[in-house]
């Protein structure tokens, strides 16, 4: 007896259902995180240390939370972040997320390690629908160049280079489930070692030698805006500005890489004052991901200066449990929570969200 979709009232409900109904190996791969899973818990917990300072008696009859991301107009300040192996959760894989992103007019980031072929995911999108490419950089730069230029040719509007995974983290839940069938459109042609879990089995092509010196090369092979995904300290945000990239995603990869990495919301709170102090806040777009489950989480990130937020596991869980209807409902729930909570804090537009609406005193001191 599986709960009806209508009985899922928030994103966490989808996780509870998915845990019960998903195949064990799929649940292990999606839900796992590094080591003792401290960082993955902190990602969500950190939001609980931020409180609102709402404004009263503001006319909030009309609320508008449309915004732009890398120049694209979107209906809500969240995007579908890249998560590998969509077919573990649903037979159709990533194209389910493509369709939901279309319906809600938000952006989907296509993972290098998608289960569906890249072209299949692009073909599943409507003509004017915007997608981004998440890139794991191959040791063989000819392969990387081909992937990037093909994505640009197919209309991708952003290149998100993952920089927090020179080696895949140790996800023991995933390893224990003895992964055997990645079902991935693996673009690496590497031999795999299935005893290491799904993640390790498909990721050995990733180049651990990738460094700041490579950024100009990426800028020379594509005109897509470049965003570094997985930045974790303000010093590196400043380097990213200097390198001339268009954005960063403050992220610890959903707690799946470095254990005891800080939450992105905390890194964001550290970053924005430094950027403002140097007059750099308009030079780069700052995104965050990790642990975002509620409209209030999104509002807190935007108040602190994020341009938008990425959401990973909740959409995978909704897709695995209920398919397209599930992802559509998850996105609608987030939009409903956004609308209600913008009213309750006294903001009618995204550009009215600022730090004065927050009390962040216990974010760092707890
Ligand atoms: C990921 N993530 C990820 N990131 C990336 O750059 N390339 C990838 O292939 C993947 N694959 C992947 C698979 C699964 C199952 C998960 C859960 C995550 C990380 C992802 O983009 C994002 O950083 C986190 O998922 C955000 O945290 P939440 O929303 O899952 O809490």
pLDDT 10s digits, 294-350: 999 999 999 999 999 999 999 999 999 999 999 999 999 999 999 999 999 999 999
Cβ–ligand 1 distance for 44 under 6 Å, the answer no
Ligand 1 centroid to Cα of residue 8, in Å, is: 23
Atom of ligand 1 nearest to the CA of 291: 31
* Residue 271 confidence (pLDDT) above 90: yes
Instruction: Look at the block and give the residue holding tokens 């005109």.
Output: 223
Counting atoms of ligand 1 from 1, which one is nearest the CA of 289?
26
Write the residue with the smallest CA distance to atom 12 of ligand 1: 83
Please pick, among 136, 287, 317, 322, the residue that the annotation labels catalytic. Answer: 136
Given the cut 0.95, state whether the ipTM is greater than it. Answer: yes
Strand partners, 138: 206
Distance of CA 223 to the CA centre of its chain: 22
pLDDT category of residue 357 using cuts at 50, 70 and 90: very high
Give the residue-averaged pLDDT of 117-128.
97
Give 120 Cα–ligand 1 centroid separation in angstroms.
Answer: 20
Q: How far apart are CA 136 and CA 118, in angstroms?
A: 14
pLDDT in tens, 174-202: 888 866 555 545 444 343 444 566 666 77
Report the candidate in 205, 206, 202 with the shortest Cα–Cα distance to residue 193.
Answer: 202
Quick check: CB of 254 below 6 Å from ligand 1?
yes
- What integer pLDDT is reported at residue 242 of this predicted model? 98
225 alpha carbon, distance to own chain's centre: 17
Pick from 88, 253, 263 the residue to mutate for probing ligand 1's pocket: most ligand atoms within 8 Å of its CB.
253
Ligand 1 close to Cβ of residue 83 (< 6 A): yes
Ligand 1 centre distance from Cα of residue 80 (Å): 10
For residues 29 and 86, give the distance between their C-alpha atoms in angstroms, rounded to a whole number. 11
Token readout for 178 is 């003895």
Residue 182 is predicted with a pLDDT of: 52
pTM of the model: 0.95
Quick one: pLDDT at residue 289? 98
User: Annotated catalytic, 136?
Assistant: yes
Q: Mean pLDDT, to the nearest integer, of 228-245? A: 98
- HSE of 117 in the Cβ direction (CA atoms, 13 Å)? 5
229 lines ligand 1 (CB under 6 A): yes
Query: How distant, in Å, are the alpha carbons of 6, 90, 332 from that of 3?
Result: 8, 18, 18
Nearest CA to ligand 1 atom 2: 83
pLDDT at 207 over 70: yes
């Amino acid at each position: 007896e599986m709960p009806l979709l209508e009985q899922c009232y928030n994103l966490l409900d989808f996780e509870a259902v998915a845990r019960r109904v998903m195949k064990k190996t799929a649940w292990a791969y999606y839900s796992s995180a590094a080591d003792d899973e401290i960082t993955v818990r902190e990602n969500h917990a950190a939001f609980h240390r931020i409180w609102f300072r709402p404004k009263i008696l503001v006319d909030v009859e009309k609320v508008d939370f449309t915004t732009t991301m890398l120049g694209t107009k979107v209906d809500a300040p969240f995007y579908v972040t890249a998560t590998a192996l969509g077919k573990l959760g649903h037979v159709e894989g990533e194209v389910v997320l493509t369709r939901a992103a279309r319906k809600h007019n938000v952006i989907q980031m296509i993972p290098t390690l998608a289960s569906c072929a890249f072209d299949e995911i692009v073909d599943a999108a409507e003509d004017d629908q915007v997608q981004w490419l998440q890139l794991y950089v191959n040791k063989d730069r000819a392969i990387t160049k081909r992937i990037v230029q093909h994505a640009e040719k197919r209309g991708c509007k952003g290149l998100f280079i993952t920089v927090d995974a020179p080696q895949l983290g140790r996800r023991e839940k995933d390893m224990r489930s003895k992964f055997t069938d990645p079902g991935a459109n693996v673009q690496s042609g590497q031999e795999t070692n299935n005893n290491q879990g799904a993640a390790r089995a498909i990721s050995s092509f990733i180049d651990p030698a990738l460094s700041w010196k490579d950024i100009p090369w990426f800028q020379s092979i594509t005109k897509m805006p470049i965003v570094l995904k997985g930045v974790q300290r303000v010093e590196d945000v400043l380097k990213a500005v200097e390198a001339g990239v268009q954005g960063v995603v403050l992220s610890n990869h959903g707690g799946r890489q470095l254990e005891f990495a800080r939450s992105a919301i905390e890194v964001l709170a550290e970053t924005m004052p430094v950027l403002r102090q140097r007059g750099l806040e308009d030079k780069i777009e700052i995104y965050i991901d990790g642990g975002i489950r509620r409209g209030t989480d999104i509002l807190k990130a935007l108040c602190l200066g994020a341009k938008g937020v990425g959401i990973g596991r909740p959409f995978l869980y909704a897709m695995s449990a209920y398919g397209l209807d599930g992802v559509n409902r998850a996105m609608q729930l987030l939009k409903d929570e956004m609308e209600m909570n913008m009213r309750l804090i006294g903001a009618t537009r995204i550009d009215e969200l600022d730090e004065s609406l927050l009390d962040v005193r216990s974010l760092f001191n707890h």
